Structure 1
Amino acid sequence: MTVSTLPVPVSNDNSMAPPRESRAARLLINQDFTKFLLSQIVAQFASKSLAVILPLMAVITFAATPTQVGLLNAAQFFPVFVITLFAGAWLDRRQRRPALIAAYVGNAILAAALPLATSLGIVHIYVLFFVAFGMGSLIAFSDVAYQAYIPNLVRGDQLVQANSRLEVAFSLAMVGAPGLGGLLIGALGGSTAMVSAVIAYVLAAIGVLAIRAREKRVPAAASGGEGMLKRIAEGMKFTAKTPLLRVLTLQGAWFNLFEQSVLTLYLLYGIRVLGFSPQLVGLTMSLGAIGVLAGSAVARLIGDKLGVTRVLILGMGVASIAPVIIPFAAGSQAMLIGLTTLSFIIYGVGMTVFNIYGISLRQRATPSSMLARVSATYRFLAFGAIGIGGIVGGVAGDWLGLRTAMFFCIIALAAGWLVFAKAIPSAITRFQESERDAEAAEGAPQAA
């Protein structure tokens, strides 16, 4: 991918905030990007809703244990470990548009397999595991491909704006789509709810197919597996030796691990302890989208007042502590619904503010030639941790009980945030110094 080199000062913390947009650079950057954005919204909502539809099917249809639910969640996210790094190296030298279309069509076929199996009388929890793993593999592949495809649709100076809009859409899907999945399975049943995923992925494929812009020619693929492994290693090494990327990646992995643990536990806790129906579980989660919209609206204002370092710490802190409301919730059902919804709204605000600034920092800290591989490295670690989190949450729920396990995971989130709050200031300072040194080196001949 290509990052824009924006001529902004680096003398203060606010320099890394996303640039203010002119009136011309509003939502519809161009027609092709609009088609791409809409296809991504549909695809992201489909994939994130499946993260709830499949586990709820396991709970309702097969009376799954917490460990089985955790393993099913892991089946959806484990492919990140297997697919992501190779996808980043492979896509670095191939066109991304055909790969995206193929991935979306493949997911539509897999989503259709579940209602088809049900109609044939094949009703078994292992069918859920097969579908979860297959769709998780294609989602991991397409997530790397779409990030690498963006520079073909917008100019370099529009890249930050485009990524910001995609990040808001992604955050909305992260918070709102699981709730939508709960609502669909409650209203339609599991197999019928999967039909909505089929339709969504078909629409996503059509949206990408309708894009008129053609990709730039890419270098010929390296021969043999050694070239690919070398490129993977380069992306991982660059991430590890760059303090800013290292801190953001490790924090992303830690947060995603225990956030997924909390979400896995909540699916069971909401139904078995709070007495919610699947629809109510979905509703409380989907209303967290209010927080995403609020976070995207106030992110720039908060960043201007606090600076990027403080806004990153604040956003991560809010997202990490917000789930503590859930195990403390008590009272009437209306009170329980209100408190759990409030938790997801607050979480949505913090997560969105953090992501908007975090993704811009990762892009600015990465050279153009490394961005696809660095993005794949980030997804390998940060998103791969989601699969582990499902297992951790499920096993902890069996061993400790749902409420105690939830407290344990929230304490782990808070501990990770404290370490991050201590590490990120020096990482950003070193990044600012490297930018100043680079600008000074470029300007030296002219100054002389």
Structure 2
Amino acid sequence: MSVSTLHRSAGHAGSAVRPRESRASRFLVNQDFAKFLLAQIVAQFASKSLAVILPLVAVVTFAATPTQVGLLNAAQFFPVFVVTLFAGAWLDRRPRRPALIAAYVGNAILAATLPLAGSLGVVHVSVLFFVAFGMGSLIAFSDVAYQAYIPKLVRGDQLVQANSRLEVAFSLAMVGAPGLGGLLIGAFGGSAAMMSAVVAYVLAAIGVLAIRAREERLPAAARGGEGTLRRIAEGMRFTAGMPLLRVLTLQGAWFNLFEQAVLTLYLLYGIRVLGFSPQLVGLTMSLGAIGVLAGSGVARLIGDTLGTTRVLILGMGVASLAPVVIPLASGSQAVLVALTTLSFVVYGVGMTVFNIYGISLRQRATPDGMLARVSATYRFLAFGSIGVGGIVGGLAGDRLGLRPAMFLCILALAAGWLVFARFLPSAVTRFEESERAAEEVR
């Protein structure tokens, strides 16, 4: 199935709001989406760079152990378990734009906490945990909000195009922002790096505030009715009941768990085994953005050639196997830097190709009225596992050693990919059959 097929099939997710069309480039879809995209790029770079800034501050300033680094990473992602499902049920009945603005302002305030504590002489590792948990909670909330907000900014036939732009931007942030965080720490120190996040979140809030399209206010009857827990359960049942969504969600959870374990280990492995400085650790990760750009450039060609099912399997395989280069690397420091950078570049290609097609397929399979709750369910499982992955990586590094632990986590990624490749084709076939049957009925 090609991208063009997905474009034709996306019309079910229309928007009640008609944003102003403009002569903005086709890449930016329309003026309001252009503002939203830029705000998301800034916010995502801030959140993803903080995922490295906070643990690097713990390692460099407090000589944190692998377990402490793992727990700090978990503090950033654990709120996904607490916040996400309730956010989906709550946002399903309320405007998303004010929620996004409030979340970004809240993150700016929290990011300023660490520099403020430093100026008062009360910096302690517990402050890092407080900031990590608070910001993780707001990020979990805003991630659900933006997924549900997209159909309010673009027409149904523009959803795939818009999501493709966002996925490229988010993939760039996923690969490039951690490296940026390491570079900021090395060049300016932890407090200055945190202040850069403050500025970024303020700019993101201003970007969303500048959007001119307004969401229709739901009538009081629509905001009331069935309870939150029941609505949460509906979203989870819908996701579990559709084989396609179930396979994509379980694979996302498995991959994110062990990917985060590998990334947690790499922060320590790069400094303590390979002898990299924090700047070099950041550089090797940030140069992976080259792979993101390459992946976004070849995604459509590969999809047109192989079809959606095969391109999802290929992208996931490349992303899962690329990290094996890191623990196998040996040689001079220049060679080590080149090999680890190559690993992140190849990983970026696979991850981007997979995400572009995966999110389009998920949204195509989800009815309008379930978007917020299905998105929340996906993030609860797929992103909630990231926090677990931080703990798994830290504990494995403590007990097995950094290199053996990396091999074990990469083996788990490969095993998950093989299971995914086994079950995805039948799930896609069943979805397409049900879609054809629905078309015949209409």
TM-score class normalised by the smaller sequence: over 0.9
Q: CA deviation at 1:309?
A: 1.0
Q: CA deviation at 1:210?
A: 1.0
Q: Are the equivalent residues in 2 in contact too, given 1:101–1:209 (CA < 8 A)?
A: yes
* 1:357-376 superposed matches below 5 A: 357-376=357-376
Q: Are the equivalent residues in 2 in contact too, given 1:76–1:135 (CA < 8 A)?
A: yes
Assess, with a 3 A threshold, how the Cα gap between structure 1 residues 350 and 175 changes in structure 2: closer, same or farther.
Answer: same
Q: CA deviation at 1:17?
A: 5.3
Q: CA deviation at 1:30?
A: 1.6
Q: Which runs of 5+ in 1 are unaligned?
A: 1-12, 443-448
Q: Partner amino acid for 1:234?
A: E
Assess, with a 3 A threshold, how the Cα gap between structure 1 residues 306 and 24 changes in structure 2: closer, same or farther.
Answer: farther
* 1:6-405 superposed matches below 5 A: 13-14=1-2, 18-19=6-7, 26-220=26-220, 222-223=223-224, 227-405=227-405
Q: Are the equivalent residues in 2 in contact too, given 1:115–1:195 (CA < 8 A)?
A: yes
Assess, with a 3 A threshold, how the Cα gap between structure 1 residues 245 and 193 changes in structure 2: closer, same or farther.
Answer: same
Assess, with a 3 A threshold, how the Cα gap between structure 1 residues 100 and 117 changes in structure 2: closer, same or farther.
Answer: same
Assess, with a 3 A threshold, how the Cα gap between structure 1 residues 227 and 16 changes in structure 2: closer, same or farther.
Answer: farther
In the other structure, the counterpart of 1:437 is 437
Q: Partner amino acid for 1:338?
A: A
Q: Partner amino acid for 1:206?
A: I
- Whole-angstrom CA distance in 2 between matches of 1:396 and 1:326: 17
In the other structure, the counterpart of 1:7 is none
Q: Partner amino acid for 2:37?
A: L
Deviation per CA, 1:155-206: give whole Å up to 9, x if none.
2211111111011111111111000000000101011110000000000011
**TM-score of the aligned structures, taking structure 2 as reference length:** 0.94
SS across alignment from 2:28: coil
- Root-mean-square deviation (CA, aligned residues, Å) is 1.4
- Whole-angstrom CA distance in 2 between matches of 1:311 and 1:282: 29
Assess, with a 3 A threshold, how the Cα gap between structure 1 residues 362 and 219 changes in structure 2: closer, same or farther.
Answer: farther
Q: Partner amino acid for 1:34?
A: A
Q: CA deviation at 1:222?
A: 4.6
- Whole-angstrom CA distance in 2 between matches of 1:383 and 1:326: 24
Q: CA deviation at 1:399?
A: 0.3
Deviation per CA, 1:202-255: give whole Å up to 9, x if none.
00011111111111222436558x611111000000000100000000000000
SS across alignment from 2:217: coil
**TM-score of the aligned structures, taking structure 1 as reference length:** 0.93
- Whole-angstrom CA distance in 1 between matches of 2:299 and 2:27: 17
Q: Are the equivalent residues in 1 in contact too, given 2:245–2:362 (CA < 8 A)?
A: yes
In the other structure, the counterpart of 1:3 is none
SS across alignment from 1:122: coil
Q: CA deviation at 1:432?
A: 0.9
Q: CA deviation at 1:16?
A: 7.6
Q: CA deviation at 1:75?
A: 0.1
- Whole-angstrom CA distance in 1 between matches of 2:5 and 2:199: 37
Identity %: 85
Q: CA deviation at 1:14?
A: 3.6
In the other structure, the counterpart of 2:19 is none
Q: Partner amino acid for 1:69?
A: V
- Whole-angstrom CA distance in 2 between matches of 1:15 and 1:332: 43
- Whole-angstrom CA distance in 1 between matches of 2:391 and 2:5: 36
Q: CA deviation at 1:33?
A: 1.1
Deviation per CA, 1:326-361: give whole Å up to 9, x if none.
000100110000000000000000000001111011
- Whole-angstrom CA distance in 1 between matches of 2:266 and 2:5: 34
Q: Partner amino acid for 1:95?
A: P
Q: CA deviation at 1:381?
A: 0.2
- Whole-angstrom CA distance in 2 between matches of 1:16 and 1:92: 29
Q: Are the equivalent residues in 2 in contact too, given 1:316–1:350 (CA < 8 A)?
A: yes
Q: Partner amino acid for 1:172?
A: L
Q: Partner amino acid for 2:198?
A: V
Q: Are the equivalent residues in 2 in contact too, given 1:175–1:348 (CA < 8 A)?
A: yes
SS across alignment from 1:376: helix
Q: Partner amino acid for 1:215?
A: E
- Whole-angstrom CA distance in 2 between matches of 1:175 and 1:324: 17
- Whole-angstrom CA distance in 2 between matches of 1:412 and 1:378: 21
Assess, with a 3 A threshold, how the Cα gap between structure 1 residues 397 and 16 changes in structure 2: closer, same or farther.
Answer: farther
SS across alignment from 1:27: helix
- Whole-angstrom CA distance in 2 between matches of 1:165 and 1:52: 24
In the other structure, the counterpart of 2:12 is none
Assess, with a 3 A threshold, how the Cα gap between structure 1 residues 17 and 337 changes in structure 2: closer, same or farther.
Answer: farther
Deviation per CA, 1:231-280: give whole Å up to 9, x if none.
10000000001000000000000000000000000000000000000000
